[in-house]
Amino acid sequence: MDVLNLDENRFQSLSTQEAFQEDLDARIDLIGTRDREASERMQAAGKSGDIWLLTFDRLLSSTQFPQIMSRMLKRLEGVYDYPVDIEFTANFNREGKLRINLLQCRPFQTKGHGGSRVKMPEDIDRSRVVLSQEGNFMGGSVHENISRIVYVDPGGYAKLSLSEKYTCARLVGRINKTISRDGMPTILFGPGRWGTTTPAMGVPVAFSEINNIAAIGEIAYKEGSLIPDLSFGTHFFQDMVEMNIFYMAVYPENEKVVFNKAFTEGLPNLLGDIVPEKREYAKVIGVYDVASKGLRLMSDIISQRMLCYFQEDL
């Protein structure tokens, strides 16, 4: 854990074990679970002390913490008209009652077209729909013509080795350099969490490798080694918000979600033209020029509807 060393006036990182030895009165019974096997191995080796795992089980199940946080977040969301990202501390007073101090609050607000309505088209032929869903997007009400789609195939990505997954992230960064936000609005789709430091959870790009993207989609993918842990609330997500990048969390298995990756069929993959020395990754990364196909991205924040569709047949 990261702590403030007041004696030396600096930040310091400690193991959980070291921190608990400082007699911090941290109510370890509420936030940790004793690792009996590890503790017994230590004792067998002649070492004293217990090993604890941070689980927060009792804090969540035996205190009012979840209820307090739920009320706080709902109240703040009501004031800001948007979900919020917060930082807080939780302490217990002398009577043992939980006290939460709010340190920072920032709304998940993006520019888009503000709160104005966007009239969504009806009766679009399903074959022309790339993505249709209710909710799970951030970026306000938008209507934008899309010139390019970059698609990282979840199944193909899951089969890559660790080093190949990092190569995949660097290739996304190279594609990003060929994109202009104004002249080539681009949607980037990929599995799991963009910007993760753990490739098993998504594509480990740096923000500078996706900063020219107009809209980004995170696809929940439960097969393979990927974990559908999407990026709401992370600092990477906040960077996207501040850069006015439209965000979509895509759950293809949800019956109310239409995600049609068949749009790639018949469209040439431009990856080999952009990075010819890595054309073997074309089975995983697709770059598709759709400027002439009339691809539209639309969302209405009032009805919470979002639609990405071709205005003409492919």
Please state which of the ranges 101-105, 153-157, 191-195, 241-245 shows the lowest mean pLDDT: 241-245
Tokens for 15, please give them: 């193991």
Query: pTM score, two decimals?
Result: 0.68
Give the per-residue pLDDT at 193.
87
3-state secondary structure labels for all residues of 105-133: EEECCCCCCCCCCCCCCCCCCHHHEEEEE
Q: Where are the domains of the chain?
A: 1-62, 64-107, 126-310
Region 43-51 average pLDDT? 76
Region 2-13 average pLDDT? 89
Give the per-residue pLDDT at 166.
97
* Cα–Cα distance list, 308 to 111, 114, 297 (Å): 19, 19, 4
145 contact partners, CB below 8 Å, separation of at least 6: 185, 294, 295, 296
Q: Alpha-carbon distance 303 to 153, whole Å? A: 30
Region 285-304 average pLDDT? 91
Counting DSSP H helices and E strands in the chain, the numbers are 9, 17
Region 275-298 average pLDDT? 94
Give the per-residue pLDDT at 311.
86
Q: Alpha-carbon distance 18 to 5, whole Å? A: 13
DSSP-based helix, strand, coil % in the chain, nearest 5: 30, 30, 40
Tokens for 288, please give them: 């598709």
Express each pLDDT in 91-130 by its tens digit. 888 888 889 999 988 776 555 554 567 888 888 888 899 9
Give the per-residue pLDDT at 93.
84
First to last CA, the chain: 53
Nearest to 235 by CA among 225, 223, 243: 243
Determine contact, residues 150/285, Cβ cutoff 8 Å: yes
Give the per-residue pLDDT at 225.
55
Express each pLDDT in 66-84 by its tens digit. 999 999 999 998 888 777 8
Rg (CA), the chain: 23
Which percentage of the chain shows pLDDT scores above 70? 90
Buried-state track 272-301, b at ≥16 Cβ within 10 A, e below 16: eebbeebeebeebbbbbebeebebbbbbbb
Order of strands, sheet of 129-134, starting from the edge strand that comes earlier in the sequence: 142-146, 295-300, 305-310, 129-134, 258-259
pLDDT at 17 > cutoff 90: no
Give the per-residue pLDDT at 281.
97
Express each pLDDT in 141-189 by its tens digit. 888 999 999 999 999 999 999 999 999 999 999 999 999 888 899 999 9
Please tell me the number of Cα atoms within 13 Å of 48 on its side-chain side: 1
Q: Alpha-carbon distance 115 to 94, whole Å? A: 46
Q: Alpha-carbon distance 96 to 84, whole Å? A: 28
